[in-house]
Amino acid sequence: MTDLPFYMQINLWLLLCSGGILFFICCLPISDYKRVMLGGEPAFPVPSTTDKLLTLFFVAFTTLLYTGECFAAHSAPESDEQTINLVKILFTLLLPIILYLPLIVRYFFISYPPAKIQLRNVLITFAALASIYILIIILHASGIINWLVELTGTPETQQAIKALQEASLIDFVVLAITAIIIAPIVEEIVFRGFFFRVLSSHAGVIVAALISSVLFGAVHLSLAQTITLTVFGLVQCTLYASTRSIIYPMLLHMLFNSVGVVSVFVNR
């Protein structure tokens, strides 16, 4: 690990520590008093033994995979474009779909109860989107992000954004579809509908939101964006808890990513 740049070492420690804490908490038995109650009734279904086993497996497996990605991306020679592109495609498109397919099939209806779309929740979603941008502006205006970039030497541009900037038109379309449609669906089911829901029954909403959001920021392997993405994750957890449907965090995630993709396309 000492061969990796300083910012990458920090990101790996965030990834390993948050994944390890999540793994440990999921090993604990669920007590009745830990069941999350909102408005006098359970906020989320209490996880079954299968839930716990799948959580433990996916946390361990994804932590190892993203750690491997970090080393692979760093060790590949700059001239070896084929290797770099293979790593990008594998981890931005194919791997999330293959890895999380069983989880998505099992937990989609748990995370997304068959309720009608409510105007109130749609308005809350747009309010949450506005709050994310306000928080991002505050973070940049405070100088925290610039200080972190200068201190650790981390690139300001996330790998996924860089891939979009350098992609051909066809590759851009594929990556854009992934960012706007596939990634929000997969990531929301995994991090909010799965990790956050299971953790809530073990450690409560606040701890669950914090740990799952840090892990969400860490797996993007961009230290400069980890704080921003952690804030994004916290807002998403709040939105999921208040609406009790994963469809609204998905919508918010799609809108957020769409703004980023359009911005990259306009400035290409």
- pLDDT tens sequence across 113-171: 555 678 888 999 999 999 999 998 998 888 888 887 777 777 666 666 777 777 778 87
- The model's confidence at residue 108, banded by pLDDT at 50, 70 and 90, is low
Which H or E run contains 41?
A: strand 41-42
Angle separating helix axes 6-27 and 144-152, nearest 10 degrees: 110
Q: What whole-number distance in Å separates Cα of residue 59 and Cα of residue 230? A: 17
Could you identify the residue written with the tokens 């996330």?
A: 158
Which H or E run contains 38?
A: strand 37-38
Average pLDDT of the chain, as a whole number: 75
150-170 per-residue burial string, b: 16 or more CB within 10 A, e: under 16: eebebbeebbbbebbeebeee
Q: What whole-number distance in Å separates Cα of residue 15 and Cα of residue 7? A: 12
Angle at 74 between CA 71 and CA 75, to 5 degrees: 80
**Does the pLDDT value for residue 79 go beyond 60?**
no
